[in-house]
Amino acid sequence: MNRSKSDETALPDRPTRGDYCRALPQYLYPKRLLSALMFRATRIRFAPWKNWQIRWFIRRYGVDMDIAAQADGYADFNSFFTRALVSGARPLPAAEDHLVSPADGSIYDYGRIVEGSLIQAKAHRYTVAQLLGDPSCDAAPFLNGSYLTVYLSPKDYHRVHMPVSGRLVEMVYVPGSLFSVNPSTARAVPRLFARNERVVVRFQTALGAMAVVMIGAVFVGGIETVWHGAVTPARSRQISRWRYGAEGERPWTITRGAELGRFNMGSTVVMLLERGDLQWRSDLVSGGRVEMGEALADYQTDGSTTS
């Protein structure tokens, strides 16, 4: 597979009239109710129903079941959707000084954060502070750092993994809307990723501070992390924070490539890094496909980078 080949269905561009027409109803319809119904529908264990759901989905989206750890026999549709992969399906680079993709998907954009500003699509920018959501969250480490945004389409593998080994510092649930995060909506809705419900997970790594932001969306039945379990749907619509590694508490370190969390239905991941001098892989392109564990950039811990 040519992993850097541009995928025009995912490449952000200026919004078209069709994008606005598809986005406008999302301001009006009951997104949270629809998501709650989807949550229930994807957990029905009645065999004829869930088997039909799974077969239809595989045909509709061309899901590659050859790399699924389990061919069939899923308890419900959500178990299928969050399926594990066979061992070795996503090999990591042998060299430790490689930053790797946190997920399978299409790159919305990547590169340098300029004075705290990130690109959502060519017509829209948003800030690190808006993405982190909570005014008490420290945005300063990322203001001139690096970022990568990956969109997970319905056919993709929907577990999120560590781009680089790191010590867990904090997790924040940020309430918000539930717009779709597909490319059309990303082109049409300003500050989309900073408006939607999301889970912000912060780490300390060899590259300094890192945040992995898992963005919720309409029909996303929940966001989970491996240490906490389900974070969304949340019982409270208030900002919630969990801090880790307090004095006397055993530090929680997650190694590069290990599972961090998963989406129950698909969405988007935004990765923020303190280091702004990364040398990204030369053939990496916005709109291109990446796989979890694929090398994105090289780095050295003495403050320099290698190409």
pLDDT tens, N- to C-terminus, the chain (307 residues)? 334 444 444 455 678 888 889 889 888 888 888 888 888 889 999 999 999 999 999 999 999 999 999 999 999 999 999 999 999 999 999 888 899 999 999 998 999 998 888 877 666 788 999 999 977 788 999 999 999 999 999 899 999 999 999 999 999 999 999 888 888 888 888 898 999 999 999 999 999 999 999 999 887 768 999 999 999 887 788 999 999 987 657 778 999 999 999 988 778 999 999 998 888 999 998 889 999 999 999 887 654 444 3
Confidence (pLDDT) at 166: 95
Q: Which of 180, 184, 267, 286 is catalytic?
A: 267
Q: For residue 119, is it within any domain? A: yes
Confidence (pLDDT) at 14: 76
Q: For residue 93, is it within any domain? A: no
Q: For residue 184, is it within any domain? A: yes
What is the rounded distance in angstroms from the CA atom of residue 84 to the CA atom of residue 73? 13
Confidence (pLDDT) at 294: 96
Q: Which of 161, 180, 184, 286 is catalytic?
A: 161
Q: For residue 106, is it within any domain? A: yes
267 catalytic? Reply is yes
| Global confidence as pTM | 0.90
Q: For residue 81, is it within any domain? A: no
Q: Which of 104, 109, 146, 180 is catalytic?
A: 104
Decide if 251 contacts 68 (C-beta within 8 A).
no
Which residue type occupies 184? S
Domain count, the chain: 1
Decide if 52 contacts 238 (C-beta within 8 A).
no
Confidence (pLDDT) at 247: 66
Q: Which residue has the tokens 């560590």?
A: 162
Range of the domain at 265: 98-298
Q: For residue 276, is it within any domain? A: yes
